[in-house]
Amino acid sequence: MCTTCGCGASASSIYRPDAPAASTLQAAVFTAVPVGNTTHKHLEIALLQRNDDIAAGNREGFKRTGTLTLNLVSSPGAGKTTLLEKTLHAIARDVPVAVIEGDQATDQDAQRIAATGVKVVQVNTGTGCHLDADMIRRAALQLQPLQQHLLLIENVGNLVCPALFDLGEKMKVVLLSVTEGDDKPLKYPHMFQAAGLLLITKCDLLPYVDFDVDACIARARQINPRLDVLQLSSRSGQGMDVWQQWLLDRLG
């Protein structure tokens, strides 16, 4: 897992794209965990336990302020940012929304979100391949006050490590585009097991790709029988009303 790929020793930067440079925060991630005489397995347990402790605090804070927090996860290019843009344009006038953007580098996605008029914080993970609970804790401080908000987290594009790290969210929402292949639930079972909702995206491309929607859903529910599934296209608008109503129902 992450301790062998190097991201456990990475540094993160967290900032508001519209805030002065002096507000930028930088901190090493997990540097308090001793690594001298421990095994990788023990280090993994320590990292995850520390993360889970912080996630529990995040979850309590979100509950206290009435904030519904969703963690959007997918492989790179599945359409998370475009989905967020279209969703925010549709609901942000009626619902208080904030976004945390996770990428290894650049603030391109955060700038796209900021153009919708919604509050956004960019988290750059450096060599890290996922967001963790402490990054979310610090990012949420930049978004205060959060009261009765919908908080949408766009995780780093990765179908592996984000499945392991609880951020304190209400639910993981996994996106799978029809350009990726209908076998992905079986290849990345931990992510689909951890998610509460599967969004099959880019459905406007179905006539042009070899993707079996029914087979994909069957494989996903083989991994997670309780998984809800929606099909949509951010570009054509197909299914977007159903997705937006799904959000509103959970806010209510």
Position 46 scores a pLDDT of 81
In this prediction, residue 31 has a pLDDT band, given cuts at 50, 70 and 90, of very low
In this prediction, residue 165 has a pLDDT band, given cuts at 50, 70 and 90, of very high
Mean pLDDT (whole number) for 198-217: 98
Find the range with the poorest average confidence among 13-17, 58-62, 141-145: 13-17
User: Residue 180 pLDDT > 90, yes or no?
Assistant: yes
Q: For residues 17 and 107, what is the distance between their CA atoms, to the nearest angstrom?
A: 7
User: Residue 152 pLDDT > 60, yes or no?
Assistant: yes
Maximal C-alpha separation, the chain: 55
In this prediction, residue 8 has a pLDDT band, given cuts at 50, 70 and 90, of low
Please write the tens of the pLDDT for every residue from 57-96: 999 999 999 999 999 999 999 999 999 999 999 999 999 9
The residue among 209, 201, 182, 212 whose CA lies nearest residue 239 is 201
The residue among 71, 39, 41 whose CA lies nearest residue 55 is 71
User: Residue 36 pLDDT > 80, yes or no?
Assistant: no
Q: For residues 100 and 121, what is the distance between their CA atoms, to the nearest angstrom?
A: 5
Mean pLDDT (whole number) for 121-145: 96
User: Residue 34 pLDDT > 60, yes or no?
Assistant: no
pLDDT above 70 covers a percentage of the chain that reads 85
Does the bond joining 20 to the residue before it have cis omega, within 30 degrees of 0?
no
Q: For residues 83 and 47, what is the distance between their CA atoms, to the nearest angstrom?
A: 31
Whether the CB-CB separation of 52 and 43 falls below 8 Å is answered with no
Mean pLDDT (whole number) for 23-39: 36
In this prediction, residue 195 has a pLDDT band, given cuts at 50, 70 and 90, of very high
91 sits in which H/E element: helix 80-91
The residue among 45, 40, 95 whose CA lies nearest residue 67 is 95
- Structural domains of the chain sorted by starting position, each given as residue range(s) with its CATH number in brackets: 2-251 (3.40.50.300)
Whether the CB-CB separation of 123 and 107 falls below 8 Å is answered with no
Comparing 148 with 39, the larger pLDDT belongs to 148
Q: For residues 113 and 89, what is the distance between their CA atoms, to the nearest angstrom?
A: 10
Mean pLDDT (whole number) for 36-50: 69
User: Residue 116 pLDDT > 60, yes or no?
Assistant: yes
Comparing 59 with 43, the larger pLDDT belongs to 59
Comparing 22 with 106, the larger pLDDT belongs to 106
